[in-house]
Structure 1
Amino acid sequence: MPPITEVLQLVVLLILAGGVAGFLAGLFGIGGGAVLVPVFYQAFALAGVDEAVRMQLCVGTSLAIIVPTSLRSFQAHYRRGAVDMSVLRRWVVAVPLGAVLSTFVIAYAPADVLKGAFAVITLLIGLKMLYRKSSQWRLGNDLPKNPALFGCGTLIGLLSGLIGIGGGTLNNTFMTLYNRPMHQAVATSSGVGILIALPTIVGNIWGGWGRAGLPPLSTGFINWAAVLLIIPITMLVAPLGAKAAHALTNRQLSVLFGLFLLTISARFFYALM
């Protein structure tokens, strides 16, 4: 058993992470996994969780938390009329399909390859968002039609599920490259997070069922103790992030999102050292 001071420090860290994750969920339409996964990794290491299942447990637990967080953020944005429901309706199969595939791929894909690819992608996207004339970068004047749109949704679900995020990072970039306003992209991403997290909960429970080395109160690769601690905080704070998003201009929101992506990229590059 770790000393009581370390346990208390861990609880405080998780509470702070929950607040940050909830605010980011509302501000950028993301599920907060980019914040929670590294915190969970340190928390489960302190608890003595086997390294063979630790990263899977972090990803699975993060995705379980994303469901209520994204739902709360989605409700806040929907009330403001900012969500593109036509996109979500067309992705109701595509995004969950990619998310389910991620629960199979994660068991075989080399972790360092996935981390390196994501670090490079987020670095490039972050630099794009910070570039003042990035609003002129376009792949098209509107979102592509099916089957291209279906494929993009599947890819967003797949990549997001692999690293335990709610899809906002990728969907925000995708929609803005196709001439959609940043506010609409952020709002729609909160709905994408729900489409990703729900099927991955089932997949991660199935994938980790009966695995040795998991901590108490875990079902497969989901630790319910961490889930129950973080969810109330994220749901309380998410509307504050959504309110802040609508108080900013498109340019301000783009800059903040770019800085956030560069931070994620740096974390992944550091993990490869």
Structure 2
Amino acid sequence: MTLAEILPFLALGAVGGTLAGLLGIGGGILIVPGLAFLLGDGTVPTDRLMQFAVGTSLATIVATALSSIRAHHGRGAVDWPVMARLTPGIIAGALLGAAIADLLPTRTLAIVFGVFLLVVSVRLFLPGQPAAHRRLPGWPGTSAYGAGIGTLSSLLGIGGGTLTVPLLTWHNTDVRAAVGTASACGLPIALAGTVGFIVMGLGTSGLPAGATGYVYWPAFLAVVPTSMAFAPLGARLAHALPRMLLRRGFAIFVAIVGVRMLIG
């Protein structure tokens, strides 16, 4: 890609990283529709556009999750035993999500993502976390939760924090530990999901240069550095700006993007 072609991807990474640090919602919510827009110029096969956007987003999350894990582990905010119980289901679910995405027409996948954005928008408008009600179940039950989280996260190209944090807090997990553990769970989601999207996309005709399956590496290489560089800026801004006003402003933005994806 030329410098002019790279700059929008750098900007996407910067905005996605800032918002991830600012609101703790994960950059995939913005990066997937951003990649769908930027790659929609014919760079990738148009009938597989959303698959490339989701697969490439998951690849970027591998890098950002590593940075996030280090930060949260340093603060003692990752519940490793809980993550260990979630991970088997997450891996199986992430592979299943990639397989489902491969079967769907790209328009259907865009509609699914648009509906998800509208749900996230409503959630951002609501204050706080869901009230705690119970303890996490044993290995089988927690693995089942992980399978659901992995499937939806891989299908949508997100790190899973919007699903994992409410689940853990509902099961009496401290919110800081829930956020840290959800960030750690983003790594197996992204790794398994990326592998799944690579494998599922290998037989696609018309793969562009620089793509392996449904992962377009030039976009990955442009998004990741700025996403990782700007996430700390977002975290600092979170302590200086009115958080609820920001959440609701972003909720409106997410709703607009969701409607845009629904109407095509």
TM-score scaled by length of structure 1: 0.82
Runs of at least 5 residues in structure 2 that lack an aligned partner in the other structure: none
Q: Please say if 1:71 is aligned against 2:61.
A: no
Q: Deviations over 1:164-210 (max 9, x none)?
A: 11111111222232333433322222111101010122111111113
- Report if aligned partners of 2:121, 2:251 keep a CA contact under 8 Å in 1: yes
Where do 1:195-206 residues align within 5 Å? 195-206=188-199
- Report if aligned partners of 1:125, 1:173 keep a CA contact under 8 Å in 2: no
1:217 aligned residue: 210
* Residue identity matched to 1:272: L
1:49 aligned residue: 44
Q: CA 1:117–1:248 in structure 2 vs 1: closer, same or farther (change >3 Å)?
A: farther
Q: Please say if 1:140 is aligned against 2:133.
A: yes
Q: Please say if 1:268 is aligned against 2:261.
A: no
Q: CA 1:72–1:149 in structure 2 vs 1: closer, same or farther (change >3 Å)?
A: same
* Residue identity matched to 1:271: M
Q: CA 1:255–1:139 in structure 2 vs 1: closer, same or farther (change >3 Å)?
A: farther
User: For this pair of structures, how many residues does the alignment match?
Assistant: 263
Once the two structures are overlaid, the 10-residue window that deviates more, 31-40 or 222-231, is: 31-40
2:157 counterpart (129, 142, 164): 164
2:91 aligned residue: 96
Distance in 1 between residues matched to 2:156 and 2:97, nearest whole Å: 9
Kindly state the Cα deviation for residue 29 of structure 1 after the two structures are TM-superposed.
4.8
Q: Please say if 1:39 is aligned against 2:34.
A: yes
Seq. identity, %: 37
- Report if aligned partners of 2:115, 2:262 keep a CA contact under 8 Å in 1: no
TM-score scaled by length of structure 2: 0.84
Kindly state the Cα deviation for residue 118 of structure 1 after the two structures are TM-superposed.
5.4
* Residue identity matched to 2:257: R
Distance in 2 between residues matched to 1:86 and 1:259, nearest whole Å: 36
Distance in 2 between residues matched to 1:120 and 1:22, nearest whole Å: 23
Distance in 1 between residues matched to 2:254 and 2:197, nearest whole Å: 23
* Residue identity matched to 2:7: V
Once the two structures are overlaid, the 10-residue window that deviates more, 27-36 or 198-207, is: 27-36
Alignment RMSD (CA, Å): 3.0
- Report if aligned partners of 1:182, 1:253 keep a CA contact under 8 Å in 2: no
SS of residue in 2 equivalent to 1:214: coil
